[in-house]
Amino acid sequence: MGNVTRIVIIGGGPGGYEAALVAAQLGAEVTVVDTDGLGGSAVLTDCVPSKTLIATAEVMTTFDSSYEELGILVADDTPPVEQAARVIGVDLGKVNRRVKRLAIAQSHDITQSVTRAGVTVLRGRGRLGTGGQAVDGSREVLVDAPDGTVQSLHADAVLIATGAHPRELPDAQPDGERILTWTQVYDLEELPRELIVVGSGVTGAEFAGAYQALGSKVTLVSSRDRVLPGEDPDAAEVLEDVFRRRGMNVMGRSRAESVKRIGDRVEVMLADGKVIEGTHCLMAVGSVPNTSEMGLEEAGVKLNDWGQIQVDRVSRTTAPGVYAAGDCTGVFMLASVAAMQGRIAMYHALGDAVQPLNLKTVASNVFTDPEIATVGYTAADVECGKMDAVVVKLPLRGNPRAKMQGIRDGFVKLFCRPGTGIVVGGVVVAPRASELIHPISLAVDANLTVEQVASAFTVYPSVSGSTAEAARQLHIRKRVDGES
Ligand SMILES: Cc1cc2nc3c(=O)[nH]c(=O)nc-3n(C[C@H](O)[C@H](O)[C@H](O)COP(=O)(O)OP(=O)(O)OC[C@H]3O[C@@H](n4cnc5c(N)ncnc54)[C@H](O)[C@@H]3O)c2cc1C
């Protein structure tokens, strides 16, 4: 065992467990230390639970928004003009029990596959030892076990993948009953009657849309001009219109200062002095990296002003032999990126071929209804001159499959380089956009041209037909724009 590289991974979310699998495959001796269970927040509190809840919401919206047009009769054929008159309802306790069951099962499956790969899994809190790097380049990792004992491990390379937790405002302390973080909503037995969601980023928008679909009366408080300030502006506009049309109270340019619980109600005080009342408040105001009290700075690991670990494109921190991946680096808060960073760290540490992280090929999705999927360069990149690109946007209103399915909102947008026609980005706003973005993602990754995208067959009728049609339109546009 003399030449076997010892890897210790602190944090068992996608950044950590995916790295563990790669490192074990490459023949390293791997230990993963986690406080909560493998899968991390992604599986136990964030990604998996929210998307499971949204799966129920999606069925509700699809039915609610199209059953009349599609000619479906229900026993009590009252149109859902008002929430109270809805023809379908939800048992939130049952939904939440399913959510938690699936999350635990997923964590269990991950633990099984990681241990089957030969990885040692330790329950506890990991931190770097104070001794720094030993002469042989190794480092000590200390594990505080739940029973109070401390175990010392030695690693040739350490990966920090400790994730992040919900940010709390000093005057809006969650109580787990009425004032909630996104990790606490799954304990609710009954649907919040009037839910105020503070924060209109991806998490805020996803929960606001989901609870609206489940039957809550939702107010979305956004400190910015519009919802989803980080997303494609046309996509955000579509979503905001849909939200308002479905009866959501979307409050733009409204900064929440404090949240108070008064009996069974909550009051959200805004910066302009306005007070909004509801039965529950969900705080979605960002997250804080789990990087404190881990001996990081003492070991030479540089953190930025937000406490995130600085890494390069192969996941190296500023301390030799210490790598970092995932939300604790703040590079791109996605499970897929965390996993990629973790794998890259292990390829690098174990001397395998490494392709540095390329954020311009990351595909991401906002799981609202409609969904918003994005890949590559964005409208903002084009506007600020970072990328010279020609754009075509095709509303789904003209797509035959969308018409048949009663889909009115959404579009396909493609960006390509003028002259060469190489596809550099795209946005799909549609039901299941998360599935429709893949051909565009493939095109961006493989530097395909609009001609190549347009020449591949699509099924008739299909929503993806709009992607091919956008590529065909760009075939002409890119020449015109390339000449000018
Ligand atoms: C509501 C919500 C929904 C999301 N949905 C999606 C989605 O649909 N798709 C997507 O790609 N991304 C989604 N994300 C983002 C995604 O969850 C994160 O990007 C992902 O979890 C990051 O993975 P990670 O490995 O960095 O950290 P985590 O998943 O947070 O895992 C870190 C683990 O480390 C443990 N830990 C922390 N400190 C220590 C320590 N000192 N010692 C030992 N263990 C420690 C934690 O307990 C945790 O188990 C969502 C996020 C939120 C908030």
Give CA–CA dist 282/166, Å, rounded.
Answer: 11
CB atoms within 10 A of CB 136: 7
Give CA–CA dist 178/24, Å, rounded.
Answer: 44
Most informative mutation of 34, 54, 323, 437 for ligand 1 (most atoms within 8 A of CB) = 34
Ligand 1 atom with the shortest distance to the CA of 126? 42
Report how far apart, in Å, the C-alpha atoms of 88 and of each of 23, 74, 142, 179, 450 are. 49, 9, 53, 27, 44
Q: Which residue's alpha carbon is at the smallest distance from atom 12 of ligand 1?
A: 334
Confidence at residue 155, expressed as pLDDT on a 0 to 100 scale: 98
Nearest CA-CA partner of 348 in 326, 378, 368, 324: 324
Phi-psi region of 416 (alpha: psi -120 to 50; beta: other; left: phi over 0): beta
Q: Which residue's alpha carbon is at the smallest distance from atom 53 of ligand 1?
A: 46
Is 412 assigned to a binding site? no
Per DSSP, the residues of 327-366 read GGTTS---HHHHHHHHHHHHHHHTT-------GGG-EEEE
Q: What is the CA radius of gyration of the chain?
A: 24
Report which DSSP code applies to 4: P
Q: Which residue's alpha carbon is at the smallest distance from atom 21 of ligand 1?
A: 42
Query: Separation of 165 CA from ligand 1 center, angstroms?
Result: 8
Q: Which residue's alpha carbon is at the smallest distance from atom 37 of ligand 1?
A: 162
* Longest CA–CA separation in the chain, Å: 77
Exposed/middle/buried for 294, CB within 10 Å: 0-12, 13-18, 19+? buried
Is 272 assigned to a binding site? no
Confidence at residue 68, expressed as pLDDT on a 0 to 100 scale: 84
- How far apart are the two ends of the chain, measured CA to CA in Å? 65
Give CA–CA dist 287/358, Å, rounded.
Answer: 23
Confidence at residue 478, expressed as pLDDT on a 0 to 100 scale: 74
Whether the Cβ atoms of residue 330 and residue 337 lie closer than 8 Å to each other: no
Q: Which residue's alpha carbon is at the smallest distance from atom 4 of ligand 1?
A: 47
SS3 label, residue 2: coil
Nearest CA-CA partner of 432 in 397, 405, 414: 405
Whether the Cβ atoms of residue 208 and residue 243 lie closer than 8 Å to each other: yes
Helix (H) or strand (E) holding 269: strand 265-270
Is 293 assigned to a binding site? no
Q: Which residue's alpha carbon is at the smallest distance from atom 20 of ligand 1?
A: 335
Whether the Cβ atoms of residue 236 and residue 228 lie closer than 8 Å to each other: yes
Query: Separation of 164 CA from ligand 1 center, angstroms?
Result: 6
Whether the Cβ atoms of residue 283 and residue 166 lie closer than 8 Å to each other: yes
CB atoms within 10 A of CB 460: 8
Ligand 1 atom with the shortest distance to the CA of 17? 25
CB atoms within 10 A of CB 251: 19
Q: In what order do the strands lie in the sheet with 6-10?
A: 120-123, 29-34, 6-10, 157-160, 322-324
Is 327 assigned to a binding site? yes
CA angle 182, 187, 189 (to 5 degrees): 125
Is-above-0.85 flag for pTM?
A: yes
SS3 label, residue 372: strand
Q: What are phi and psi of 364, to 5 degrees?
A: -135, 165
CB atoms within 10 A of CB 364: 18
Task: Compute the Cα dihedral for 109, 115, 117, 121 and give only its sign.
Answer: positive
pLDDT, tens digit only, all 484 positions of the chain: 457 899 999 999 999 999 999 999 999 999 999 999 999 999 999 999 999 999 999 999 888 888 888 988 876 655 555 544 566 789 999 999 999 999 999 999 999 999 999 999 999 999 999 989 999 999 999 999 999 999 999 999 999 999 999 999 999 999 999 999 999 999 999 999 999 999 999 999 999 999 999 999 999 999 999 999 999 999 999 999 999 999 999 999 999 999 999 999 999 999 999 999 999 999 999 999 999 999 999 999 999 999 999 999 999 999 999 999 999 999 999 999 999 999 999 999 999 999 999 999 999 999 999 999 999 999 999 999 999 999 999 999 999 999 999 999 999 999 999 999 999 999 999 999 999 999 999 999 999 999 999 999 999 999 999 999 999 999 987 766 666 5
Ligand 1 atom with the shortest distance to the CA of 37? 49
Confidence at residue 476, expressed as pLDDT on a 0 to 100 scale: 82
Domains and CATH numbers, the chain: 6-44+96-165+288-359 (3.50.50.60), 168-285 (3.50.50.60), 370-483 (3.30.390.30)
Nearest CA-CA partner of 359 in 385, 378, 382, 379: 378
Give CA–CA dist 348/345, Å, rounded.
Answer: 5
Q: Which residue's alpha carbon is at the smallest distance from atom 5 of ligand 1?
A: 47
Is 51 assigned to a binding site? yes
Query: Separation of 385 CA from ligand 1 center, angstroms?
Result: 33
Residue 64: partners with Cβ closer than 8 Å, 6 or more residues away? 80, 86, 88, 213
Whether the Cβ atoms of residue 12 and residue 39 lie closer than 8 Å to each other: yes
- Cis amide bond preceding 395, omega within 30: no
Pocket of ligand 1 from Cβ distances under 6 Å: 10-16, 33-36, 40-42, 46-47, 50-51, 125-126, 161-164, 182, 203, 290, 294, 326-328, 333-336, 338, 367
Confidence at residue 271, expressed as pLDDT on a 0 to 100 scale: 94
Give CA–CA dist 428/229, Å, rounded.
Answer: 17
Most informative mutation of 160, 162, 203 for ligand 1 (most atoms within 8 A of CB) = 162
Exposed/middle/buried for 393, CB within 10 Å: 0-12, 13-18, 19+? middle
SS3 label, residue 396: helix
Ligand 1 atom with the shortest distance to the CA of 287? 53
Query: Separation of 13 CA from ligand 1 center, angstroms?
Result: 6
Give CA–CA dist 403/8, Å, rounded.
Answer: 53
Whether the Cβ atoms of residue 268 and residue 278 lie closer than 8 Å to each other: yes
